[in-house]
Structure 1
Amino acid sequence: MPLRLNPTFRAALAASDRPLAGMWVSSGSAVAAEIAAGSGLDWLLLDMEHSAASLETVLTLLQVAQAYPITPLVRVPWNDPTVIKQVLDLGAQNPIVPMVSSAAEARAAVAATRYPPEGVRGVGSALARSARWSRVDDYLSTAADHVSLTVQIETAAGVAAAAEIATVEGVDAIFVGPSDLSASMGLLGQQSHPDVVAAVHAVFAAAQEAGTPVGVNAFDPVVAEAYLAAGADFVAVGADVALLARASEALAHRFSAPHGGERPRS
């Protein structure tokens, strides 16, 4: 019996009457991914850029997320057609490509997700989970319908080119990364600096003018709320490793004695 793939991130954004909230899975842990997938959030970002996650890891995380009503996105480490091809063949429907700073780079990312003649994606669906080993009818002719591409704007050059990037056919969403953006602006670690926030807003304006959904990374709830008020269509509001780090620190602060002090007695 033919199989149907899940709706894409593009479809989820189009169908929603509110901004979509998501979080990162940077640990590579299948247990963490399953906990996050069942959280009630809208989308999950499985990261390969700033983690030790391998292709095998991503396959496992995709399989885990499949059981839950959440949309998984996979961030590849670079705008590399070989890696994008491999991730798509694993069954990732929603790749995120980092560090896209020009329309040409955006077009290259689109080409990596499309079969010829529109793109350069290698044809191996009969061997891959993407088409469920040829159990998805007409996958080759409809593959573009099953893939939603998000590109990240994370540099000052990307901000300057945002209007062009947002109009590239095949770019379904733009995701702004304030951390790298602040670094490229000479403001390393100052994601909430007024100039960085203004640059994020400039990308929002360019994307909104083009009718392209736009999101942003914002782990601080106050910052996230401000970006939502500014029109963000989707926001990443946390990460598994950050949540564990902060929660374990809070436990230590509450229950561990200060250095040199005595532990409280019951």
Structure 2
Amino acid sequence: MHLPHNAFKAALKQAQPRYGIWAGMCTPYTAEILAGLGYDWVLLDGEHAPNTVPTLLGQLQAMAAYGSQPVVRPVTGDPVLIKQLLDVGAQTLMVPMVETAEQAAALVQAMRYPPHGIRGVGGGLTRATRWDAVPDYIRNAHQELCLIVQIESRLGVQNAAAIAAVEGVDAVFIGPADLSTGLGHAGDASQPEVQDAIRQAIDATRAQGKACGILAPREEDARRYLDWGCQFVAVGIDISLLRQAAQANLARYRDDAGASKAPGGVY
């Protein structure tokens, strides 16, 4: 059996935009629905959604038959958790709140086996090796693994060029909600200071020859960030889409259903 190809990593080297959707419902059933809709990638969120390694495994298995590529976001860059996620077959990780090149380099080490890193060897116990059916997995795994680091703080923006320059970092993803809050604007990414910081991070990332992505459920934001050079953009969140569609449906029948219709200002 061949080492599974990481189509998401390969796509980062191409110019055309890649559209993604956030998956926060934590079930294989909904992950499979999203995987069949035509989005280029699906973010399985383990930071703010109540996912665990077993629930993420189920979603990876559910998505395996589809062309949409899974991206897994752990709650932290803990090397032990990274090891577990890679062992169950995640090939692309998005790690939150990376602020320095040193942090980024440590994440690269967590994703690689010795002598180039510190990842522990699971061998035939792991889905990643297809239970020891992939020849030379230890030597070749890094070729198909993809590391995305999230910049979502003032310090991260200041260090964006150095972070993006780290060998083994494949892409940078900007988190507008945390970035705007950290800059004193409580989740309001429309503020000029926040927009300037986002543009700065995009430019710094692209200058290092790395792909840049962002979360932008509002169409006007997504199109602006694409114009600025983002190559992969999450243009929807499953939970938000469900809530909005359900409210709109009820509002057709009940006048009072629109009382809480407007989504929150963060996304």
Same-fold call, TM cutoff 0.5: yes
- Using the TM superposition, give the Cα deviation of residue 9 of structure 1 relative to its aligned residue in structure 2, in angstroms: 2.2
CA–CA distance in structure 1, aligned partners of residues 256 and 39 of structure 2: 37
Aligned to 2:95: 97
Counterpart residue number, 1:263: none
1:89-238 alignment runs, 5 A limit: 89-238=87-236
Listed one character per residue, the Cα deviations across residues 47-89 of structure 1 (whole Å, up to 9, x for unaligned) are 1000111111000000011010111100010111011000000
How big is the shift at 1:126?
Answer: 1.8
Give 4+ residue runs of structure 1 displaced > 6 Å after superposition.
Answer: none
Encode CA deviations 1:175-196: one digit per residue, 9 max, x unaligned.
Answer: 0000000111111120121111
Give 1:120's aligned amino acid.
Answer: I
Q: Secondary structure at the match of 2:51?
A: coil
The letter of the residue matching 2:246 is S
8 Å CA contact 2:15–2:231 kept in 1: the answer is no
How far apart, in 2, do the equivalents of 1:192 and 1:257 lie?
Answer: 31
CA distance in 2, matches of 1:35, 1:195: 38
Q: Which string of whole-angstrom CA distances, capped at 9 and with x for unpartnered residues, describes residues 204-223 of structure 1?
A: 11011100000111010111
Alignment-derived partner of residue 264 in structure 1: none
Distance between the aligned counterparts of 2:251 and 2:102, measured in 1? 49
Q: Which residue of 1 aligns with 2:246?
A: 248
Distance 1:117 1:139 in 2: 14
Q: What is the aligned-residue identity percentage?
A: 44
Q: Deviations over 1:90-128 (max 9, x none)?
A: 100001110000001101111110111111111113210
Distance 2:98 2:255 in 1: 47
Structure 2: give runs of 5+ residues left out of the alignment.
258-267
Structure 1 stretches of 5 or more lacking a match? Answer: 260-266
* Larger Rg belongs to: 1
Q: Show the counterpart of 2:70.
A: 72
Aligned residue identity for 1:49: E
Q: How far apart are the structure 2 equivalents of 1:29 and 1:127?
A: 24
The match for 2:262 is none
Instruction: Provide Cα deviations, 1:127-157, integer angstroms capped at 9, x if missing partner.
Output: 1001111111110100101210000001000
* Residue 35 in structure 1 maps to residue 42 in structure 2: no
The answer to whether the Cα contact below 8 Å between 1:47 and 1:53 also exists between their aligned partners in 2 is yes
SS of 1:86's partner is helix
**What letter matches 1:12 in structure 2?**
A
Checking the alignment, whether the CA contact within 8 Å between 2:45 and 2:73 is kept in structure 1 is yes
Residue 7 (1) aligns with residue 17 (2): no
Aligned alpha-carbon RMSD (Å)? 1.1
Post-superposition CA distance 1:214-243 (Å, at most 9, x none): 011101011101111111111011111111
Q: Distance in 2 between matches of 1:213 and 1:233?
A: 6
Aligned equivalent of 1:44: 42
Residue type of the partner of 1:11? A
2:4 is aligned with what amino acid?
Answer: L
TM-fit CA distance, 1:36: 0.6
